[in-house]
């Protein structure tokens, strides 16, 4: 089946630093999604990308849909303590009206104040 | 409510017992997903419903797992003869028709003792 390789698995940074994480796949996806999960909560959608090459920002977050449609990255600028959590990428492949999300294993982000 | 609602939020059951987990999707959303998340792990796809189409059951780990979606709305995930390895957080998500942005509930934490 389809698999996403998400890296790094974990990051420890100081408050104020920028962060970058990425996902790669051997398969082509139609859409890339980035989620954040806080402890005890479900994942929350941060950014959705629909076109190859698309660069989208949401506040301090910036994500890009790779030209090859097989990868995506997420950048967080000027990190703050509340950025702590697990970040997941998800690729969406579609066939007809069926949309299937495949998730990466997540990046655990720790921000030291 | 406005979001995806899952119940119960926590469930402790004895090995061998059956359990039912419930998901109320966002009103009007035609697609519904179930995922499983083990401690410190990513999201494992279980099953996907889209409208009246036959569900994609390719992620169900064994025949002890089944899911129904009644009237195109509420879904129930049933695990029969639970085993300790079934302990995990079970997450439900829904999305609008022909839309890839899935919104998650808070999950049901299942503990099999």
Q: What is the largest CA-CA distance in chain B?
A: 40
Q: Would you say residue B9 has pLDDT above 80?
A: yes
pLDDT at residue B71 in the model: 82
B29-46: b (≥16 Cβ within 10 Å) or e: bbbbbbbbbeeeebbbbb
Phi, psi angle pair for B38, to nearest 5°: -85, 165
Q: Return the bridge partners of A61, or none.
A: A58, A76
pLDDT at residue B62 in the model: 95
Q: Are β-strands A10-14 and A107-112 bridged in parallel, bridged antiparallel, or unpaired?
A: parallel
Query: Coil, strand or helix: which one is B48?
Result: strand
* pLDDT tens track for B10-34: 999 999 999 999 999 999 999 999 9
pLDDT at residue B65 in the model: 98
Is the CB of A43 less than 8 angstroms away from the CB of B51? no
A105 chain-B contacts, CB cut-off 8 A:
41-42
Q: What is the mean pLDDT of residues A94-113?
A: 83
* pLDDT tens track for B29-67: 999 999 999 987 789 999 999 888 889 999 999 999 999
Q: How confident is the model at residue A95 (pLDDT cuts 50, 70, 90)?
A: low
B100 chain-A contacts, CB cut-off 8 A:
30-31, 33, 48, 50, 92, 94, 99, 101
State how far the alpha carbon of B18 is from the alpha carbons of A33, A72, B11, B14, B108, in Å. 34, 40, 11, 9, 15
Q: What is the mean pLDDT of residues A94-107?
A: 79
pLDDT at residue B1 in the model: 54
d(CA B71, CA B27): 12
* pLDDT tens track for B57-113: 999 999 999 999 988 799 999 999 999 999 999 999 999 877 778 999 999 999 999
Residue A76 contacts by C-beta under 8 Å, 6 or more apart in sequence? Answer: A18, A19, A20, A60, A61, A83, A109
Q: What is the mean pLDDT of residues A13-24?
A: 97
Q: Chain B, 65-84: which have a CB under 8 Å from a chain A CB? A: none
Q: What one-character DSSP code corresponds to residue B54?
A: P
How high is the mean pLDDT of chain A? 92
pLDDT at residue B6 in the model: 97
d(CA A83, CA A111): 7
d(CA B7, CA A56): 35
């Amino acid at each position: 089946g389809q698999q996403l390789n998400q890296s790094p698995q974990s990051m420890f940074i100081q408050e104020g630093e920028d962060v970058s994480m990425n996902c790669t796949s051997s398969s082509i996806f139609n859409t890339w999604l980035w989620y954040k999960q806080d402890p005890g909560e479900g994942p929350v959608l941060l950014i959705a990308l629909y076109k190859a090459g698309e660069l989208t920002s949401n506040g301090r977050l910036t994500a890009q849909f790779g030209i090859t449609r097989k990868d995506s990255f997420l950048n967080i600028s000027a990190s703050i303590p509340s950025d702590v959590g697990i970040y997941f990428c998800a690729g969406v492949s579609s066939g007809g009206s069926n949309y299937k999300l495949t998730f990466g294993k997540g990046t655990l982000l720790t921000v030291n104040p | 409510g406005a979001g995806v609602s899952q119940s119960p939020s926590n469930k402790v059951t004895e090995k061998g017992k059956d359990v039912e987990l419930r998901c109320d999707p966002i009103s009007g959303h035609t697609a519904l997903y179930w995922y499983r998340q083990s401690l410190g792990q990513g999201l494992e796809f279980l099953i996907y419903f889209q409208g009246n189409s036959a569900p994609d059951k390719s992620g169900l780990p064994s025949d002890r797992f089944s899911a129904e979606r009644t009237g195109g709305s509420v879904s129930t995930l049933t695990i029969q003869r639970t085993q300790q390895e079934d302990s995990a957080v079970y997450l439900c998500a829904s999305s609008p028709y022909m839309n890839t942005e899935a919104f998650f509930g808070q999950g049901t934490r299942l503990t099999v003792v």
